[in-house]
Structure 1
Amino acid sequence: MIVLKDILYKVKIDAVYGNTDTHINAVHFDSRKVSLDDVFVAVPGTAVDGHDYITKAIESGAIAVICERLPAELINGVTYISVESAHHALAIMASNFYDNPSKNLKLIGVTGTNGKTTIASLLYELFKKAGYKTGLLSTVKVMVGQDRHPATHTTPDPMAINGYLKSMNLAGVEYCFMEVSSHGIDQQRTAGLEFVAGVFSNLTHDHLDYHNSFAAYRDVKKRFFDELSPKAFALINVDDKNGAFMLQNSKARKVTYALKTYADYKAQILENQFHGLLLKIDNNEVWSKLIGNFNAYNLLAVYAVAIELGLEKIEVLQYLSELESVGGRFQYFISQSEITAIVDYAHTPDALKNVLETINTIRTGNESLITVVGCGGDRDATKRPLMANIAASLSSKAIFTSDNPRTEDPEKILQEMEAGVEPQFYNKTLTILDRRQAIRTACQLAQKNDIILIAGKGHENYQEINGVRREFDDMKIVTELLNNMNQHSQGNV
């Protein structure tokens, strides 16, 4: 049995009412999961406030309540603990509840607007190839050694994070690579975790619906590096103008990487094709199956982390050449009619621009580039007109369609996208509300050697409309459509 006072170690407590020597079974922040002798942490959220469910938690058997605001009436036999931040308290308690599992492995956090999933996933694969037992906490999946678990958030809640890390301890995992989102940092989900390294990829326009301003978004990312210990290292992309800012006040050892400016780790792109990249890293040439300038940065970050963690240079270069692209990240398929379809998670203006510029750099100009793109509902609306104009300006044809409208009117989202298109690009755009029909239209418009980019959803295998998730996989749909069209055309020969 676990004693309440033991999991309160390092929690910033304002006041205690009751007995902390009591035994507890579990810690929950969802009142629906509370049962006899559990602790309920009343976490204030953006939509729901846990303080409104304290009574329900106690009725379900909670023996202790952690809260920022005490209820008007305190019930005998229940321990109430007042804290400054319930988010912070939950994270520290979660770590203590699972015996501080992050201390028993090497935990590497990756943050930034774009590239988090690719960098973390490639590091997981590289270290696995090197013979280490590895773990992964990412947007796409959670891996405990070889065991796969579904991912629900880029950065899970503290109980889930520490539960997975504890499972990794039991499985003998030595290295864990973790995506760290701005939401996760802001809600202190990573508090109490001991990182040996932090990686910064880049910072561009995203999540302003949550953070309200770019400065606030940037400052939250910086907090992750501020909290790294002097024993950790911070690896920063200094080609990004915000890179140096991330290092200010950080106590961690500072390491840099770049393609354009002076840095500790440098790379040069020698060849950039649809079949891959030829890079020069530390005066060694290495061929990668990944595509595009943005992946040159991702690969360089992976290389730098591996070297900093003690792997041999030649060994790392060999493994880099063997790594495959991450699902939904510049994932491509070439049909029998020689049409190239690319599916990418690009859901920010900068990510979309990077992908389109990469395609335009590689293609000869004789092929058409048809882009299918939408913007998610209940998310940062300010990027909608920007993304639409980028798609229209950098494509031969841009088809605007639904992404995950969630609870918003999809037609309204599309109108906000259309409003951003400059007049000279009007004749290059189409708007088709139904995503499947939009992809079908792109396939029908495409001729031999043309390129179709389907952006925004990447690895996601669903589309969320009015709170309901329906099966929808961009890559699966475009592959089936192109294959069926090819068979149909052969039948008419």
Structure 2
Amino acid sequence: MKVLKDILYKVAIQAVHGSTHIEINKIVFDSRNVNAHDVFVAIKGTLTDGHLYIDKAIALGAKAIICEQLPEQLQQQITYVVVQNASEALAYMSANYYNEPSSKLKLVGVTGTNGKTTVATLLYQLFTNAGYKVGLISTVKILVHTTEYKTNHTTPDSVLINYYLNEMVTQGCEFCFMEVSSIGIDQHRTTALDFAGGIFTNLSHDHLDYHHSFAAYRDAKKAFFDQLSKNAFAITNADDKNGALMLQNTAAKKFNYAIKTYANYQAKILENHFSGLLLRIDNHEVWSKLVGNFNAYNLLAIYATAINLGLPQAEVLRLISELNSVTGRFQYVVSPNQITAIVDYAHTPDALENVLKTIKEIRTKNENIITVVGCGGDRDKTKRPEMAKIAAQYSNKVIFTSDNPRTENPQTILDEMEKGVPAEYFNKTLSILDRKQAIKAACQMANAKDIILIAGKGHETYQEINGVRHDFDDFKIVTEFLFVNQ
């Protein structure tokens, strides 16, 4: 039990009805999860308004209500606290409830359109290999040292973040690397966290279904750096046109990295193969098992971060050479007849273009590139024709197919993608609604030494259709068609 007054520290309170000297069990913002003596935080979400469920929460046993607007009728023996922003209040309350765990380890946030998962996961891997106990909060999973938990969001809610950070502290973790999404920032999920550092990877077209404009999306990313303290460091990609903007108003110590321009941390790509990258980082050569120009940037961000966290340069370079690629990020398999199949999470125009450019740079020019790609339902529709155009431009053959249609008609999604294909590319595209059949068709089309790219879902092991998640793993399916069915 915690005293309500204690967990309201730093919350912008506008009014209180009742006593804050009551003991509460836990913090809840989903009325379905309320139990006796809980405090219910009524949040105005994108789909529903928590204020509609205040009476239900009280009926289930809530003893305190945090809200932005008071109900018309107040119930006796219930404490009502009116706040300026319920999402922000939830963040401070969660940090207070778990005794501010982010201040007890070095928490580093990674934000940007592409590369967040790779950078955060590889930093976890690098510091673990260096002998530290480390935590990870990512799109793919949450790791508390070596214990793994599944996750449904890039950036979990405030309660879960602080719960897992507290578990990390309890387990003796010294570092935590965390993906920070624009939506998570906008919804205050990272408010009240004490970040030791922040990393900006890049910025391109994504999440406009939520933010409605690129400027709003960009500014949400920037807000993360604006909130860093003077004791933190901020590392940005100087080759991205929005990199300097991210650092404009931050109080943190500023650093940048680049391949094309002058920066605090610089790299040059010496060799780029399917087997890996040879880089020169700050005049030291290092070999990495990761592939592609985009991973050169990811590795440089990792290098800069590790240096700022106090690791010796020589050790960082050695550890970089030992890093293994992240599941679903340029993950590839080669069949007995030398067909290369690549599975990648690329689900934005920029990410898809980066992967296809990398493939074109590495191939010997005699191989065909066959791309299987779709777009998610109930998400930003404006990127659909753009992704289709990119796929057609950089591939010899393209198969448009379902991604996670969610509640949308998958055929409608394909129709919207096809509108982006220029007339000169029509003859190299086709649509196969069933994703498994699309992957099968790509394998049947491929000849020896051809390259198949399956883009969009990457690490995901499901396909979501009308609210139901069905088992679906791109990598397992393409491997089956290339090996088992030969």
TM-score range, shorter chain: over 0.9
**Cross-structure match for 2:205:** 205
Please give the alpha-carbon distance, in whole angstroms, between the structure 1 residues aligned to 2:484 and 2:131: 42
Q: Which amino acid aligns with 1:162?
A: N
- CA-CA distance at 1:48 after TM superposition: 1.2
Please give the alpha-carbon distance, in whole angstroms, between the structure 1 residues aligned to 2:369 and 2:2: 60
Please give the alpha-carbon distance, in whole angstroms, between the structure 2 residues aligned to 1:374 and 1:107: 35
**Cross-structure match for 2:436:** 436
Q: Which amino acid aligns with 1:414?
A: L
Please give the alpha-carbon distance, in whole angstroms, between the structure 1 residues aligned to 2:142 and 2:382: 31
| Number of positions where the alignment pairs a residue of Structure 1 with one of Structure 2 | 486
- CA-CA distance at 1:300 after TM superposition: 0.3
Please give the alpha-carbon distance, in whole angstroms, between the structure 2 residues aligned to 1:35 and 1:143: 28
**Cross-structure match for 1:481:** 481
Q: Partner of 1:61: helix, strand, or coil? A: coil
Which residues in structure 2 correspond to 1:268-287 (within 5 Å)? 268-287=268-287
Which residues in structure 2 correspond to 1:253-332 (within 5 Å)? 253-332=253-332
Q: Partner of 1:139: helix, strand, or coil? A: coil
**What is the TM-score when the length of structure 2 is the normalising length?**
1.00
Please give the alpha-carbon distance, in whole angstroms, between the structure 2 residues aligned to 1:468 and 1:177: 31
**Cross-structure match for 1:345:** 345
- CA-CA distance at 1:151 after TM superposition: 1.4
Please give the alpha-carbon distance, in whole angstroms, between the structure 2 residues aligned to 1:468 and 1:370: 29
Which residues in structure 2 correspond to 1:399-438 (within 5 Å)? 399-438=399-438
**Cross-structure match for 1:458:** 458
Q: Which amino acid aligns with 1:403?
A: D
Q: Partner of 1:332: helix, strand, or coil? A: strand
Q: Partner of 1:469: helix, strand, or coil? A: strand
Deviation per residue, 1:160-201 (Å, 9 max, x gap): 000000000100000000000001000000011000000000
Q: Partner of 1:70: helix, strand, or coil? A: coil
**Cross-structure match for 2:185:** 185
Which residues in structure 2 correspond to 1:11-410 (within 5 Å)? 11-410=11-410
Please give the alpha-carbon distance, in whole angstroms, between the structure 2 residues aligned to 1:442 and 1:182: 35
Please give the alpha-carbon distance, in whole angstroms, between the structure 2 residues aligned to 1:420 and 1:443: 25
Q: Which amino acid aligns with 2:449?
A: N
- CA-CA distance at 1:152 after TM superposition: 1.2
Q: Partner of 1:317: helix, strand, or coil? A: helix
Q: Which amino acid aligns with 2:106?
A: K
- CA-CA distance at 1:365 after TM superposition: 1.0
- CA-CA distance at 1:296 after TM superposition: 0.1
**What is the TM-score when the length of structure 1 is the normalising length?**
0.98
Q: Which amino acid aligns with 1:461?
A: T
**Cross-structure match for 1:490:** none
Q: Which amino acid aligns with 2:464?
A: E
Q: Partner of 1:267: helix, strand, or coil? A: strand
Please give the alpha-carbon distance, in whole angstroms, between the structure 2 residues aligned to 1:2 and 1:86: 19
Please give the alpha-carbon distance, in whole angstroms, between the structure 1 residues aligned to 2:206 and 2:76: 47
Q: Name structure 2 gaps, 5 residues minimum.
A: none
Q: Name structure 1 gaps, 5 residues minimum.
A: 487-493
Q: Partner of 2:444: helix, strand, or coil? A: helix
Q: Partner of 1:92: helix, strand, or coil? A: helix
Please give the alpha-carbon distance, in whole angstroms, between the structure 2 residues aligned to 1:34 and 1:474: 38
Q: Partner of 1:73: helix, strand, or coil? A: coil
Q: Partner of 1:402: helix, strand, or coil? A: coil
Please give the alpha-carbon distance, in whole angstroms, between the structure 1 residues aligned to 2:26 and 2:372: 47
Deviation per residue, 1:198-236 (Å, 9 max, x gap): 000000000000000000000000000000000001000
Please give the alpha-carbon distance, in whole angstroms, between the structure 2 residues aligned to 1:335 and 1:104: 48
Please give the alpha-carbon distance, in whole angstroms, between the structure 1 residues aligned to 2:311 and 2:38: 44
Corresponding position: 1:6 with 2:42? no
Deviation per residue, 1:126-145 (Å, 9 max, x gap): 00011110000000110000
Please give the alpha-carbon distance, in whole angstroms, between the structure 2 residues aligned to 1:28 and 1:141: 22
- CA-CA distance at 1:485 after TM superposition: 3.5
Deviation per residue, 1:248-278 (Å, 9 max, x gap): 1111110000000110000000000000000
- CA-CA distance at 1:57 after TM superposition: 0.2
Q: Which amino acid aligns with 1:73?
A: Q
Deviation per residue, 1:106-147 (Å, 9 max, x gap): 000000000000000000000001111000000011000010
Q: Which amino acid aligns with 1:49?
A: D
Q: Which amino acid aligns with 2:393?
A: S
Q: Partner of 1:364: helix, strand, or coil? A: coil
Q: Which amino acid aligns with 1:477?
A: I
Please give the alpha-carbon distance, in whole angstroms, between the structure 2 residues aligned to 1:229 and 1:393: 44
Q: Which amino acid aligns with 1:129?
A: N
- CA-CA distance at 1:484 after TM superposition: 2.5
Q: Partner of 1:110: helix, strand, or coil? A: strand
Q: Which amino acid aligns with 1:352?
A: L
Runs of 4+ aligned structure 1 residues displaced above 2 Å come to: none
Q: Which amino acid aligns with 1:147?
A: T
Please give the alpha-carbon distance, in whole angstroms, between the structure 2 residues aligned to 1:314 and 1:219: 36
Q: Partner of 1:114: helix, strand, or coil? A: coil
Please give the alpha-carbon distance, in whole angstroms, between the structure 2 residues aligned to 1:484 and 1:57: 53
- CA-CA distance at 1:36 after TM superposition: 1.0
Please give the alpha-carbon distance, in whole angstroms, between the structure 1 residues aligned to 2:38 and 2:375: 41
Q: Which amino acid aligns with 1:303?
A: Y
Please give the alpha-carbon distance, in whole angstroms, between the structure 1 residues aligned to 2:389 and 2:68: 45
- CA-CA distance at 1:35 after TM superposition: 1.0
Q: Partner of 2:475: helix, strand, or coil? A: helix
Please give the alpha-carbon distance, in whole angstroms, between the structure 2 residues aligned to 1:326 and 1:318: 18
